[in-house]
Structure 1
Amino acid sequence: MAPPSAAPIEGTGESSSPPRSSAAHDELRRKIYERLVQAGKQGDSDDASFRDMLDAHFDKLPPRYLTDLSESKAEDVLLHREVLDECAHNGNQPVFRARFLKHMAVQPEWVVTSPDSETYQRLLEDLTLERIHGTDTTGSTSSPSRDSEPALLHEIIFSSLDKPKLLSRLTALLSEVGLNIQEAHVYSTTDGFCLDVFVVDGWKTQETEALIATIEDTLMRKNGAPPNSANASSSEKILELQQQLVDCEIDWSVLAVGEKITSGSSADLYRGTHSGLDVCIKILRSAHHNSPSEVEFLQQALMLRRVKHENILTFYGACTKHRKYCAIVTEYMPGGDLYEFVHKQNDVLELLLILRIAMSISKGMECLHQHNIIHRDLKTANILMGDNHVVKIADFGVARVGSQEGQMTAETGTYRWMAPEIINHKPYDHKADVFSFAIVLWELITLKVPYDNMTPLQAALGVRQGLRLEIPADVHPGLSKLIEQCWDEDPGIRPVFAEIIVQLEDILQEIQVPKGGHRRSRAKMQKKSPR
């Protein structure tokens, strides 16, 4: 499996700001340095050491960090550096800062750089995460009208070790505290930390000590037991999962580990061999042993073991009892992932190929749902390709067995592909995967990244307000109708995958035997940019 392309996913620090040139960034660095020196902010450092310190800070953050800065925000740089430094020297524990910004007499409008449609601007005017405790079953909020009194804007600055789905967890945390996100800037550092800056309203006073205390108390409550207790609980669960995997245990000594393919948040993926087979070996890093990450890792192995289908990645076994290594062994897919395949295309995809890929994905997903498994993170980067455009569902890292009631809660997945009910922290079921499939199908048609002119958070907030991607006008009408059904706001209207397969088969039959009896062998979709 080839390393995936750098998909724009949350947690990577995307920005909707227009890019600046390297020369402009260098000039801004100089101006920030000079402004801080003039203000006497270098402390005991000499000028050269102070400049080196600033450059080291800038160098470990993505270029968009400077894009989002201005000379007038020079002192913010020192605050951001202080927060990152405290996190790194405080046992990697999360660090929060809060400060009052200003009174807001009227609600500000969201601004998206280079919007292609007036719809974007209209839907982004009031995008805030609903307060969990103020939402009724109809989706209305019980919070008082924000026009009735001036709002207070605060800035929340957060740093921790960079982890999967961190942005999702942070937005849920702020929402539970009762804060409405007005602006978000998310960055990942080169040394594995995150720096997230949120502008929020919803806190009724200018003082911030109680705000920080409330956030920390809520975080502790959401995390549950203290670390030692959590580790003990993880150890018990790990032993239980190891027993369930005992009949597919692979001896580490029979695995030949080859080149590293890619790295994830908690595991590394290698190409290797096992009993003469070309395989992928996913190895959990030692820092995550005996932790919730290992529980999730072993649960992924159990999910893969349960399902056998030609469109689901084949599971060969797992190494769970070695004193040093914990690994999952699957088949090797030489074509890389579907995201990489789609976004390196220089020409439109044939409709026949689109239908073939969509059919394969649907059959794999139908198998998962028949086993009561909700994938929860279906996207092109989690669909792997073999020879002859064979595709298989992979990456069950956040997949879960559906609850007995048929619905689940908690925000997980990737924002650009995420169903609105998950974004809104509402109960959800297998139909959340159907919504994600609609985004994948749109991606196959347009060869574009979903909501590519928006940050992941802006995309999520737009979707919860009814924003959808624009389907090109010349898409096959049956395919267009299917996409609209699959991403309908009401999960009950979305078809199940068995019904999706029937609709795809109908379209396939229609284009292969068109009116007049002439078989059409090369039907193409017209690539068209969303307006």
Structure 2
Amino acid sequence: MESGSGLYPVDEFRLDPKWLIDPKNLYVGPRIGEGAHAKVYEGKYKNQAVAIKIVHKGEAPEDIAKREGRFAREVAMLSRVQHKNLVKFIGACKEPVMVIVTELLLGGTLRKYLLNMRPKCLETHVAVGFALDIARAIECLHSHGIIHRDLKPDNLLLTEDQKTVKLADFGLAREETLTEMMTAETGTYRWMAPELYSTVTLRQGEKKHYNHKVDAYSFAIVLWELLHNKVPFEGMSNLQAAYAAAFKNVRPSAENLPEEMAVILTSCWQEDPNARPNFTQIIQMLLNYLYTVSPPEPMVPSRIFASENAVFPPESPGTRSLMAKRDDTGETPRAKDEIKPNGFLCCFSQCY
């Protein structure tokens, strides 16, 4: 339950038993990521390949409270929503340390994927397909009353075949206090909606109202990056980009793009949040554009379906064509394989 500060004290937070994992069944392998608040490792849980996020507790009492609150919110939200474009939640534990376990996605972050491609750009239909994956993930969150607030390439992960994007990291939940966000998350300013970070100009403790349209702004910046494979606001520091976007209404250039894509970008990053489209509208705009550049193939006559070598019509663009190959269990093939990490694999309970 939520306290007055918007934090869930970890001693008040009750994890649903069905999501509680036994640390004895958890094995930690090599580190695959690190942030300000946690480290992420490749590992195993009951013979399944997983990503293990171990949350730093901090030392100062106020840091401990904030990080425990962040952990509680992230677990609460991950356990509430399920979607093929959201990283699958497997479980969590609070002792001996705070741990969140999710499916392991071996395709890396979207940021790393784009960096490895530079100066080449994604093919347009691939960029739009990735954008559809992201938009569908956010639409799902919004339908559950959740605002992500930290949409950026670092928080978008690719499946092993690098055909599907999934949204991860719910650390900046909507319930988080603005004070915590302002002091701890300055690195995300480049993608963050101006109405969130412009609160630095307000008196300390004064609240700034915002809504789910903050995610539409961030989505537009990510979409621009998918189309150009360049860092948005290139040449500016994070704070310079924040100042330019919030107080000078500066945006990346939408020139030299098809008119339909320019309309999507400029509508999503409008200064007035209420003028931005919702994600159901964004998905429809993306699909409309995708049909113009890659129209679906003609439907195959139904009589062919009786053939032993049946050929089925394609699903809507941006879905099946961009999804990882899965077996009958719904898992990616690697998920059932034994992990072969490059580093030492140790029992979690022995390490802690």
Say whether the fold is shared (TM-score over 0.5): yes
Deviations 1:301-356 (A, max 9, x none): 11111110000010000011x2x222000000101111111122142211110111
Residue 527 of structure 1 aligns with which residue?
none
Residue 131 of structure 2 aligns with which residue?
358
User: Is residue 2:47 matched to residue 1:269?
Assistant: no
User: Is residue 2:250 matched to residue 1:467?
Assistant: yes
CA apart distance, 1:361: 0.3
**Distance in 2 (alpha carbons) for counterparts of 1:372 and 1:442:** 26
User: Is residue 2:189 matched to residue 1:415?
Assistant: yes
- Note if contact 1:409-1:427 (Cα within 8 Å) is conserved in structure 2: no
1:495 aligned residue (277, 302, 314): 277
Secondary structure of the residue aligned to 2:117 is coil
User: Which structure ranks higher in relative contact order (CA pairs < 8 Å, sequence separation ≥ 6)?
Assistant: 2
Letter in 1 for 2:26: L
State which drifts further: 328-337 or 280-289: 280-289
Residue 68 of structure 2 aligns with which residue?
294
Alignment of 1:36-55 (within 5 A): none
Residue 220 of structure 2 aligns with which residue?
438
1:369 aligned residue (142, 150, 169): 142
TM norm structure 1: 0.49
Alignment of 1:394-413 (within 5 A): 394-400=168-174, 412=182
Residue 205 of structure 2 aligns with which residue?
none
Alignment of 1:44-443 (within 5 A): 237-241=9-13, 243-287=14-58, 290-320=64-94, 322=95, 324-346=96-118, 347-386=120-159, 387-400=161-174, 412=182, 414-425=188-199, 426-443=208-225
Secondary structure of the residue aligned to 2:127 is helix
Letter in 1 for 2:128: L
**Distance in 2 (alpha carbons) for counterparts of 1:355 and 1:249:** 37
Deviations 1:370-424 (A, max 9, x none): 011010110111111112421111111112259xxxxx96665511012121122
Moved segments of 4+, more than 4 Å:
408-413
- Note if contact 2:216-2:278 (Cα within 8 Å) is conserved in structure 1: yes
Residue 70 of structure 1 aligns with which residue?
none
Tell me how many residue pairs correspond in the alignment: 274
Residue 193 of structure 1 aligns with which residue?
none
TM norm structure 2: 0.73
Letter in 1 for 2:107: G
* % identical aligned pairs: 38
Secondary structure of the residue aligned to 2:272 is coil
Check 1:294–1:331 CA distance in 2 against 1; reply closer, same or farther (3 A cut). same
Residue 236 of structure 2 aligns with which residue?
454
List alignment gaps of at least 5 residues for structure 1.
1-229, 403-407, 515-531
Secondary structure of the residue aligned to 2:21 is coil
C-alpha RMSD of matched pairs (Å): 2.4
Structure with bigger gyration radius? 1
Letter in 1 for 2:258: H
**Distance in 1 (alpha carbons) for counterparts of 2:218 and 2:210:** 13
